[in-house]
């Protein structure tokens, strides 16, 4: 039994060392991905809209907001190979996922862009009800603005419908039950 106990201690030390190395590598990867995201937000993420003006004192009011679709589109071009935006939340937070290979499948990137457009252009009221959604043509046109060929965007939209990620009804695109997944 003493031999097995020594082996147990040795394996425990090996596991602890490997865990520490794994955590250090993950921290470095996270920092590098954050740099890519920060660059995308700085270069493409903000949109400003004049929302109001004063008739008397020359004061103008602007609304700045995060253009999540533009950020995701920029990230699909700038993330290191093998990484893809897998989820985009209403609060602007996003998840980046390793695809398990050194090359990101083009379709996964296109899915992320399409979903980001739907998320960006869907409005929800304070009770959590959807008040407006983009048209299918608007999603496809905006995807084309971000460099997704229309035919591929159409194919990927059809795939998102089959996977219950979006629902197209009367030419409008609604988030569906699996919308949170890409």
The model's pLDDT over 13-35, given as tens digits with 9 standing for 90+, comes to 999 999 999 999 999 999 999 99
Q: What is the pTM of this model?
A: 0.75
Domain ranges of the chain: 2-175
Evaluate whether 119 touches 90 at the Cβ level (below 8 Å).
yes
**Would you list the DSSP string of 52-107?**
EE-TTT--EEEEEEE-HHHHHHHHHHHSPTTEEEEEE-TTS-EEEEE-SSSS--HH
Question: Is residue 92 scored above 80 in pLDDT?
Answer: no
């Amino acid at each position: 039994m003493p031999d097995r106990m020594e082996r147990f201690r040795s394996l425990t030390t090996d596991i602890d060392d490997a865990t520490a190395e794994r955590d250090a590598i993950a921290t470095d990867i996270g920092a590098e991905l954050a740099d890519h995201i920060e660059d995308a937000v700085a270069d493409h993420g903000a949109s400003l809209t004049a929302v109001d003006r004063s008739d008397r004192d020359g004061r103008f009011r602007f609304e700045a907001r995060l253009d999540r679709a533009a950020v995701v589109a920029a990230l699909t071009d700038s993330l290191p190979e093998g990484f893809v935006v897998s989820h985009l939340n209403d609060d602007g937070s996003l998840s980046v996922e390793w695809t398990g290979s050194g090359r990101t499948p083009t379709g996964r990137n296109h899915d992320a862009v399409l979903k980001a457009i739907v998320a960006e252009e869907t409005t929800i009221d304070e009770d959590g009800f959807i008040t407006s959604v983009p048209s299918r043509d608007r999603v496809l046109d905006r995807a084309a603005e971000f460099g997704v060929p229309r035919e591929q965007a159409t194919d990927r939209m059809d795939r998102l419908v089959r996977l219950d990620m979006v629902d197209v009804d009367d030419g409008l695109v609604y988030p569906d039950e699996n919308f949170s997944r890409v």
